[in-house]
């Protein structure tokens, strides 16, 4: 009955992602409204719940414009190349004990591999648009997203070491207490790097509306733009889901069914991402790069070494000792690293 | 192997979300680094100065509203003062105070918008802007009470103001002023200590003292460079010599200094307003001025301290109903002249920060 399992879970994953994305769009617009002392969308349906549907209809009905000098096949393929991997990540996210499309024993590796493909889609879009703003966005994509992969992977490796497995289901099961307590530094690095990966404020330099208009999306309209929009939210959903799974105990939790716990955790992580978006301005590309290479990378290596030490000595089994030790170490390391760190901003390049 | 790279040209504007209207910059870039800038004006040009020479003096007041539309009141005031100089009109005390109240409110409103848009330019997702607009809205409500308009006020007249303040005006103003220090501290907390704002603004786009003077920059752009020059103190006009207030200055003239000067000026405006309310006398709000104005052949250059800097009107009268020459010294335009020096060597993202910190309104750049 393997085919039934796959068919059913593919459907579930698809419905989950699409409804999740629609919910996020609504939730973020309402949430940002609250942050910004304005009502937010509240006309379409109760509490504006039908707003994402109205947006979807609008986007579907819009004219699809392709610049005359664009590289047309690439321009056409780019949104799909970006969207499909964002969706495919959910194949290995467990919604309950073993409730996943594919329990890969290399789950995390799969996620890292598949989610990296999105970068190619974005670069294709920026490159093929025949627009200099898009080109700037495309160049920023490669610089930023490829760099941030490294601290991202290194921060995840900590949880992998603790759990002794690459399977997401095993990582959830291995969490006597949520890994955020034993890997606080790892979680911080993961969230920062992941927000850069999915192009969210303060790392939204790829589209940077006030600088390069919309970057790689400038020349996209209609449903192709809609796909990029969906990709962004699907990626946010996947980052929140992976963060919940790796650091917050995934589906594990008392009383309520597993997938409800997972959804609660996903929404909590997303709320944090939204809060950052509402508060911070945008960094500059060289500052973003400096932050990655000079701050996040050394920290994530330090985190990795410390975790390795913990696992080797068996300290991580002593939760009552490991939790305060890790929290303290994380605080000290962040303070020390931030004293050393310079963004390199504030000088004209001559 | 050395890769062969080329500079490329990119047009920022005329329609770009961060050019504060229709302004065009032709940038030559090396990667993201700006190696050359050519600012191109004129996309909003309306021939306003020429139009003004074909209309009589009174009918030109509404034109001034449309120059820097974020500080219409101060534009009104400057032009009215210029014509009053030609006609030797003495403005009644109460009207003088009302003008100062309006001008300082307008300065606050303009700076609030300026800081808000600056934050938007460096990529804050509207939150600071909307917080600024919360207070700006209260000020606009006050203007609405006084003259029934929300943007182009057209409130001042030669010899005074078009009508006295309504009863509800002063209580509402007092309420605003009581809350204002708290709100300003809130902006301070949200912006001035924000790590990302600091790395984006500190040391970025420095305008040195000498250059600021040589470019005849004015307002927060000049004061941000550390030069204590404010027409309200240095060439007191109207009744500004009766109030106590400080002139804030920056240290090195970077983007952050220009922002900080603006924020502090809002605080100082609150101080002036409190004194003005306390001293506000009763009486006439309009001097006796004939309907048809024919100043004797003469000329005047009358300047006030606008939110963006020295705003001056050069009016030449030839004894007829229309001005012979009508010229505006618009601070936004003149502050832009140092733009190239501020931009070279910085990146595309800094362009928006630096440009936003100059706080221009295209309505007065292209007249």
Q: List pLDDT tens digits, range A213-241.
A: 888 888 888 888 888 888 889 889 989 98
- Residue A350 has a pLDDT of 61
Question: Picking from A10-14, A95-99, A182-186, which range would have the lowest pLDDT averaged per residue?
Answer: A95-99
Do A200 and A315 lie in one domain? The reply is yes
Site from A32, A211, A273, A341 to mutate, B interface, most B CB atoms within 10 angstroms? A211
Q: How distant, in Å, are the alpha carbons of A116, A186, A192, A193, A335 from that of A297?
A: 18, 11, 11, 10, 15
Q: Which ipTM score applies to this complex?
A: 0.84
- Residue A320 has a pLDDT of 79
Confidence of residue A346 (pLDDT cuts 50, 70, 90): low
Do A53 and A75 lie in one domain? The reply is no
* Tens digit of each residue's pLDDT (9 = 90 or more) over B97-140: 999 999 999 999 999 999 999 998 888 878 888 988 988 999 99
Do A224 and A330 lie in one domain? The reply is yes
**What does the longest C-alpha to C-alpha distance in chain A come to?**
66
| Residue A225, in any domain of the structure | yes
| Residue A347, in any domain of the structure | no
Site from B8, B116, B126, B196 to mutate, A interface, most A CB atoms within 10 angstroms? B196
Q: Please give the average per-residue pLDDT across A7-36, as a whole number.
A: 87
- Residue B105 has a pLDDT of 92
Site from A281, A287, A294 to mutate, B interface, most B CB atoms within 10 angstroms? A281
User: What counts of helices (H) and strands (E) characterise chain A?
Assistant: 14, 0
Q: Which of A274, A271, A296, A283 is nearest to A344 (CA)?
A: A283
CB contact under 8 A, B199 and A345: yes
Q: Please give the average per-residue pLDDT across B28-52, as a whole number.
A: 88
Do A13 and A140 lie in one domain? The reply is no
> Which chain A residues in 107-166 lie under 8 Å from chain B, judged by CB atoms?
132-133, 136, 139
- Residue A230 has a pLDDT of 87
CB contact under 8 A, B10 and A132: yes
The verdict on A340 touching B (C-beta cutoff 8 Å) is no
Round to whole Å and give the CA distance between A154 and A275: 25
Residue A1 has pLDDT above 80, yes or no: no
CB contact under 8 A, A36 and B346: no
CB contact under 8 A, B119 and A281: yes
CB contact under 8 A, B204 and A36: no
CB contact under 8 A, B31 and A139: yes
CB contact under 8 A, A281 and B345: no
Which domains, from first to last, does chain B contain? 8-365 (1.10.645.10)
* Tens digit of each residue's pLDDT (9 = 90 or more) over A29-86: 999 898 888 888 888 888 888 888 888 888 889 888 888 888 889 999 999 998 888 8
| Residue A228, in any domain of the structure | yes
Q: Please give the average per-residue pLDDT across B239-246, as a whole number.
A: 90
Round to whole Å and give the CA distance between B232 and B262: 15
| Residue A84, in any domain of the structure | yes
Do A107 and A37 lie in one domain? The reply is no
Copy the structure tokens of residue B240.
């500004």
Do A329 and A191 lie in one domain? The reply is yes
CB contact under 8 A, A345 and B204: yes
CB contact under 8 A, A281 and B33: no
Q: How distant, in Å, are the alpha carbons of A168, A321, B13, B122 from that of A246?
A: 7, 21, 45, 34
CB contact under 8 A, B196 and A280: yes
Task: Report how many domains make up chain A.
Answer: 2
Rg (C-alpha) for chain B, rounded Å, is: 21
CB contact under 8 A, A345 and B124: no
| Residue A349, in any domain of the structure | no
Q: Shortest CB distance from A136 goes to which of B122, B346, B348? A: B348
Contact (CB, 8 A) for A219 and A293: no
Residue of chain A whose alpha carbon sits nearest to that of B15: A213
Q: A280: which chain B residues are within 8 Å (Cβ-Cβ)?
A: 124, 194, 196
Q: B347: which chain A residues are within 8 Å (Cβ-Cβ)?
A: 284-286, 349
Q: A277: which chain B residues are within 8 Å (Cβ-Cβ)?
A: 125
Q: Please give the average per-residue pLDDT across B173-190, as a whole number.
A: 89
CB contact under 8 A, B199 and A280: no
Do A151 and A130 lie in one domain? The reply is yes
Q: B350: which chain A residues are within 8 Å (Cβ-Cβ)?
A: 284
Round to whole Å and give the CA distance between B89 and B160: 10
* Tens digit of each residue's pLDDT (9 = 90 or more) over A234-292: 889 989 988 998 888 888 778 888 788 888 999 999 999 999 888 888 888 888 888 88
Q: How many CB atoms lie within 10 A of CB A163?
A: 19
- Residue B81 has a pLDDT of 92
Contact (CB, 8 A) for A142 and A119: yes
**Domain span holding position A44:** 1-61
- Across the beta sheet with B309-317, the strand order is B298-306, B309-317, B323-329
- B205 to chain A, minimum CA–CA distance in Å? 8
Q: Shortest CB distance from A283 goes to which of B125, B134, B196? A: B196
Confidence of residue A178 (pLDDT cuts 50, 70, 90): confident
Q: B6: which chain A residues are within 8 Å (Cβ-Cβ)?
A: none
* Tens digit of each residue's pLDDT (9 = 90 or more) over B73-88: 999 999 999 999 998 8
- Residue B44 has a pLDDT of 86
Do A26 and A144 lie in one domain? The reply is no
- B17 to chain A, minimum CA–CA distance in Å? 6
CB contact under 8 A, A132 and B344: no
CB contact under 8 A, B123 and A208: yes
Among the candidates A36, A61, A86, a domain finishes at A61
Round to whole Å and give the CA distance between A240 and A246: 10
Q: How many residues does chain A have?
A: 350
pTM: 0.88
Do A147 and A270 lie in one domain? The reply is yes
Q: Shortest CB distance from B344 goes to which of A281, A346, A348? A: A348
Residue B319 has pLDDT above 90, yes or no: no
Q: Please give the average per-residue pLDDT across A105-124, as a whole number.
A: 87
Mean pLDDT taken over chain B: 89
CB contact under 8 A, A38 and B204: no
Residue B301 has pLDDT above 90, yes or no: yes
CB contact under 8 A, A345 and B134: no
Residue A342 has pLDDT above 80, yes or no: no
| Residue A345, in any domain of the structure | no
Do A17 and A146 lie in one domain? The reply is no
| Residue A348, in any domain of the structure | no
* Tens digit of each residue's pLDDT (9 = 90 or more) over B192-228: 888 888 888 888 888 899 999 998 998 899 999 989 9
Among the candidates A40, A61, A82, a domain finishes at A61
- Residue A131 has a pLDDT of 87
Q: B204: which chain A residues are within 8 Å (Cβ-Cβ)?
A: 345-346
Residue of chain B whose alpha carbon sits nearest to that of A218: B16
**What does the longest C-alpha to C-alpha distance in chain B come to?**
82
- Residue A344 has a pLDDT of 63
- B124 to chain A, minimum CA–CA distance in Å? 4
Decide: helix, strand or coil at residue B347.
strand
Q: How many CB atoms lie within 10 A of CB A320?
A: 8
Question: Picking from A312-321, B17-26, B285-294, which range would have the lowest pLDDT averaged per residue?
Answer: A312-321
Question: Picking from A174-183, B60-69, B73-82, B225-234, which range would have the lowest pLDDT averaged per residue?
Answer: A174-183
- Angle, helices B169-187 vs B127-147, to 10°: value is 170
CB contact under 8 A, A283 and B199: yes
Do A325 and A253 lie in one domain? The reply is yes
Q: What are B's interface residues with A at a Cβ cutoff of 8 A? A: 8, 10, 16-18, 31-33, 119-127, 130-131, 134, 190, 194, 196-197, 199-200, 202-204, 254, 344-352
The verdict on A209 touching B (C-beta cutoff 8 Å) is yes
Beta bridge partners of B347: B33
- Residue B111 has a pLDDT of 93
Residue of chain A whose alpha carbon sits nearest to that of B350: A284
CA terminus-to-terminus distance, chain A? 66
Round to whole Å and give the CA distance between A259 and B33: 49
- B192 to chain A, minimum CA–CA distance in Å? 12
Do A158 and A112 lie in one domain? The reply is yes
């Amino acid at each position: 009955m393997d085919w039934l399992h796959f068919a059913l879970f593919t459907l579930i994953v698809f419905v989950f992602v699409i409804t999740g994305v629609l919910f996020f769009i609504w939730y973020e617009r309402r949430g940002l409204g609250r942050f910004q002392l304005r009502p937010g969308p509240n006309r379409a349906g109760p509490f504006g719940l039908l707003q994402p549907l109205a947006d979807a209809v609008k986007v579907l009905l819009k004219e699809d414009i392709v610049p005359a000098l664009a590289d047309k096949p690439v321009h056409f393929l780019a949104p799909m190349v970006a969207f499909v991997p964002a969706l495919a990540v959910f194949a290995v996210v467990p919604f309950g004990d073993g409730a996943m499309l594919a329990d890969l024993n290399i789950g995390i590796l799969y996620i890292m591999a598949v989610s990296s493909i999105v970068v190619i889609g974005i670069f294709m879009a920026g490159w093929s648009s025949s627009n200099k703003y898009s080109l700037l966005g495309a160049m920023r994509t490669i610089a930023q997203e490829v760099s941030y992969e490294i601290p991202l992977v290194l921060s995840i490796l900590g949880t992998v070491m603790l759990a002794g497995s690459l399977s997401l289901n095993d990582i959830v099961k291995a969490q006597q207490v949520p890994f955020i307590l034993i890997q606080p530094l790892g979680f911080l690095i993961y969230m920062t790097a992941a927000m850069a990966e999915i192009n969210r404020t303060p790392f939204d330099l790829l589209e940077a509306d006030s600088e390069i208009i919309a970057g790689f999306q400038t020349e996209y309209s209609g449903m192709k733009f809609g796909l990029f929009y969906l990709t962004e939210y699907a990626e946010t959903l996947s980052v929140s889901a992976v963060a919940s799974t790796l650091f917050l105990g995934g589906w594990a939790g008392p009383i309520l069914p597993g997938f409800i716990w997972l959804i609660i955790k996903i929404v909590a992580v997303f709320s944090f991402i939204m809060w950052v978006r509402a508060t911070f301005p945008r960094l500059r590309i060289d500052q973003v790069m400096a932050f990655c290479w000079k701050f996040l990378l050394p920290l994530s290596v330090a985190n990795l070494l410390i975790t390795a030490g913990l696992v080797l000595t068996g300290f991580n089994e002593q939760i009552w000792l490991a939790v305060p030790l890790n929290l303290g170490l994380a605080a000290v390391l962040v303070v020390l690293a931030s004293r050393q760190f310079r963004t390199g901003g504030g000088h004209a390049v001559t | 192997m050395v890769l062969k790279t080329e500079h490329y040209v990119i047009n920022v504007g005329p329609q770009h979300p961060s050019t504060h209207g229709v302004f065009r910059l032709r940038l030559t870039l090396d990667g993201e680094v700006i190696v050359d800038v050519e600012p191109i004006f004129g996309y909003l040009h309306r021939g306003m100065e020429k139009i003004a020479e074909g209309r009589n003096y009174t009918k030109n007041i509404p034109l001034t509203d449309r120059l820097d539309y974020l500080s219409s009141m101060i534009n009104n005031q400057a032009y009215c003062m210029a014509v009053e100089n030609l006609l030797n009109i003495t403005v009644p005390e109460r009207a003088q105070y009302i003008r100062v109240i309006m001008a300082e409110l307008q300065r606050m409103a303009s700076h609030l918008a300026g800081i808000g848009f600056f934050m938007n330019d460096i990529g804050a997702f509207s939150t600071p802007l909307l917080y600024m607009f919360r207070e700006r809205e209260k000020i606009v409500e006050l203007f609405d009470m006084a003259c029934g308009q929300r943007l182009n006020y057209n409130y001042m007249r030669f010899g005074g103001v078009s009508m006295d303040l309504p009863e509800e005006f002063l209580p509402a103003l007092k309420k605003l002023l009581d809350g204002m220090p708290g709100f300003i501290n809130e902006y301070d907390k949200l912006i001035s200590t924000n790590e990302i704002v600091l790395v984006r603004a500190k040391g970025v786009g420095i305008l040195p003292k000498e250059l600021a003077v040589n470019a005849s920059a004015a307002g927060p752009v000049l004061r941000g460079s550390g030069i204590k020059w404010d027409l309200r103190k240095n060439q007191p006009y109207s009744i500004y010599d009766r109030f106590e207030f400080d002139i804030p200055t920056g240290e090195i003239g970077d983007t952050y200094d220009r922002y900080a000067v603006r924020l502090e000026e809002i605080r100082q405006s609150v101080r002036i307003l409190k004194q003005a309310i306390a001293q506000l006398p009763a009486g006439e709000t309009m001097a006796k001025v004939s309907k048809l104005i024919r100043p004797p052949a003469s000329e005047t250059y009358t300047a006030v301290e606008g939110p963006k800097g020295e705003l001056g009107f050069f009016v030449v009268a030839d004894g007829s109903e229309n001005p012979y020459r009508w010229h505006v010294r618009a601070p936004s335009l003149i502050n832009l002249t140092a733009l190239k020096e501020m931009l070279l060597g910085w990146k595309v993202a800094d362009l928006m920060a630096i440009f936003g910190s100059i706080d221009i309104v295209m309505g007065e750049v292209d007249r």
